[in-house]
Chains A and B, each alone.
Chain A
Amino acid sequence: MQDEEVWIKRYNASPLRNPVAIVGSPGLRSIGKLAVDSLISQLQATLIAGFYSTHLPSVYDTSPSYAADPTLPGQAGAIVESGRADLPKVQFYSFAEPPVVLVQGYHPNFEGQYVVAQKVVDFLGDLGVERMIVVAGFGSKEKKIVCAANSQKALEEMKTRFEVGIGYKGPFMGFSGLVFGMAKLRGIEAVCLFAGTEPIEENLEFPDPEASSRIVELLNRILGLKK
């Protein structure tokens, strides 16, 4: 029987000096996931760890996957990619210069939301992360990027250095929302970038690569990867 609710598989990795964490998951129009995947590919980042959990379903009973419901826990199972089967997982990648940890999020079911987010935030804290940038989408007809943060200082920095202001208010559900919210408890300064995207009611997670590329462009500026 699986004793732990969350367990980790570590790969060989060199220690990083206070890396910035970039966190995304398949949320609205999959913008967060696309942005993180794109950056992993751009940087040819190295896989350093995977988190597995009894709370990560392979099949969701909810649609979208981030709309967790206590009565709909989903089904456990395997996920097959390129012919290889593995369990659903959250993955961590690293890049040395500038030091970055990229988090490919995965939505737990209702019961596991806080448990998984807590483990992720603790792991990032143990890696020396002091700053986190979460990426996601918000429903808007305007192709703009707005931000939220866990400190006034971080909001001001986004405004003055990158001309990104606030503009979304309301709930933020799923993996990325809780990781964003829990960062402060671990002393991590966190900003969330929301790209405006038009929700498609029939499939809220239908990818929006254009909105994602806007986020990636901004992340490149923030991280100093491209001027």
Chain B
Amino acid sequence: MNSEIKVIKKVKPRELVLICGLPGAAYIGKLSVDYLIQQMKAELVAEVYSRFFPPYVIIKEDGLVELMRNELQHVTDETGKSLVFLSGNAQAFSPEGQYEITEKVLDWAVENEVKRVYSVAALVTDRPFEAPEVYATATSTSLLEETKSRGAKVLDHGIIGGENGLILGLARKKELEGICLLAETHGYQTPTGEYVVDPRASKAALNVLTQLLGIKVDMEPMDKQVAQMDEAIAKMAEIERRVREEMTQSGKRPSYVT
């Protein structure tokens, strides 16, 4: 096996739209797409396995083991159009693997007469902002105009690393329509290098994406996630403030002051 798509349930998509959100910076793509999967009750139709995924398994809280994989989940929207979400617990670790997996997924989509490909990713910035902006890039000028009319700004130049970007490049190669939405984030990381999820950025991306898809989803659960994350960040800021205060009172200088 190099990479394979294991079909779980055969579907006959109609006017298929593929929406990709794999784990990346601040988990914006994954969080956004997983949210739509949950809210729209999409159904697992295929799993993607590959030797290019990180070589370990996860033992989950419930004691069940999970291989690294991508998933395709299908739902029919109110107008009868098929939405297929590409999500998963990992991205391939090498460019070779990322190309192979993305090609396989796009081939599956082409076989199912895909009409358009979307992806959601992060735009890591150190620009201070109150609310994150959403930028867009697309395979054609007319699509860019469409995203602008939904509140996105045009990404003039930049790099979209990983499969959330690659899928757009390969969509263009296959002469498919494609749009990538990039939500601004500060891309905070934990001391072990893990990204901290950014639901506020995901919410901003979803605001544009749902308009482009012509769907409505309940955003209340996402608002709760945003509030929880705000609370966690406020607590961290408070701890940091207290440590600084104690250091000032005891005359100690933080070790990073040289």
Complex CA–CA separation, A177 to B66 (angstroms): 10
Residues of A close to B66: CB separation below 8 A: 181
B44-70 near A? 1/0 per residue, CB < 8 Å: 000001110101111111111111000
Q: Is B94 an interface position by the 8 A CB rule?
A: yes
Q: Is A172 an interface position by the 8 A CB rule?
A: yes
Residues of A close to B50: CB separation below 8 A: 114
Residues of B close to A91: CB separation below 8 A: none
Residue of B nearest to A176 (CB): B57
Complex CA–CA separation, A120 to B249 (angstroms): 63
Residues A182 and B67 in contact in the complex (CB < 8 Å), given A70-B94, A173-B56? yes
B57 touches A171 (CB 8 A): yes
Chain B: minimal CB distance from A58 (Å): 19
B65 touches A149 (CB 8 A): yes
Interface residues contributed by chain B, number (CB under 8 Å):
21
B57 touches A178 (CB 8 A): yes
Q: Which of B49, B56, B93 contacts A70 (CB 8 A)?
A: B93
Complex CA–CA separation, A181 to B1 (angstroms): 15
The stretch of A14-22, A35-43, A162-170, A197-205 that contacts the partner chain? A162-170
Complex CA–CA separation, A150 to B59 (angstroms): 10
Chain B: minimal CB distance from A208 (Å): 20
Complex CA–CA separation, A113 to B68 (angstroms): 13
Residues A149 and B67 in contact in the complex (CB < 8 Å), given A172-B58, A177-B57? no
Chain B: minimal CB distance from A180 (Å): 6
Complex CA–CA separation, A190 to B65 (angstroms): 9
Chain B: minimal CB distance from A99 (Å): 24
A181 touches B64 (CB 8 A): no
Chain A: minimal CB distance from B141 (Å): 39
A130-173 near B? 1/0 per residue, CB < 8 Å: 00000000000000000111111001000000000110111111
Residues of B close to A185: CB separation below 8 A: 6, 49, 67
B65 touches A171 (CB 8 A): no
A180 touches B64 (CB 8 A): no
Residue of B nearest to A181 (CB): B57
A152 touches B67 (CB 8 A): no
Q: Is A219 an interface position by the 8 A CB rule?
A: no
Q: Which of B6, B56, B59, B67 contacts A168 (CB 8 A)?
A: B59
Residues of A close to B57: CB separation below 8 A: 171-172, 177-178, 180-181
A181 touches B51 (CB 8 A): no
Residues A181 and B65 in contact in the complex (CB < 8 Å), given A171-B56, A171-B57? yes
Q: Which of A149, A171, A178 contacts B64 (CB 8 A)?
A: A149
Residues of B close to A168: CB separation below 8 A: 59
A149 touches B1 (CB 8 A): no
Listed by A's residue number, 11 A-B pairs whose Cβ atoms lie within 8 Å are A118-B51, A148-B59, A152-B64, A166-B63, A169-B59, A171-B56, A172-B59, A178-B67, A180-B57, A181-B67, A184-B67
B residues whose Cβ falls under 8 Å from a Cβ of A:
1, 6, 49-51, 53, 55-67, 93-94
A residues whose Cβ falls under 8 Å from a Cβ of B:
68, 70, 110, 113-115, 118, 147-152, 155, 165-166, 168-174, 177-178, 180-182, 184-185, 190, 192
- Apart from A70-B93, A148-B65, A172-B65, 8 more pairs, CB < 8 Å: A150-B64, A169-B63, A170-B59, A172-B59, A178-B67, A180-B57, A192-B59, A192-B65
